[in-house]
Amino acid sequence: MATTDESVAGVTEDCSRCERQTTHQVSVEILTESGKQENAEYSREPYRVSECNECGATIKRRMNNA
């Protein structure tokens, strides 16, 4: 799993666990979707990862619909 070195702190978003607007740490990760080792390099996709600074809840969303 690869992660960008830069992330954005202080982005305000809704948190489903806190049930209010809280600040989040946001980054982009490249995740492997295939469980098969032989084709793993072809199944990597970018995901937006948002982590609540208050409760630590994490949401990962695929960034494309390919």
pLDDT tens for residues 32-58?
A: 887 777 777 778 899 999 999 999 999
Is this model's pTM higher than 0.85 or not? Answer: no
- Can you give the residue ranges of every domain in the chain? 2-62
Residue 60: predicted pLDDT? 94
Residue 59 tokens, joined: 């949401």
Q: Which of 28, 23, 19, 22 is nearest to 10 (CA)?
A: 23
β-strand pairing of 44-52 with 20-32: antiparallel
- Residue 31 clears pLDDT 80, i.e. is over it: yes
DSSP string, 36-48: -GGGGGGSEEEEE
Residue 40: predicted pLDDT? 73
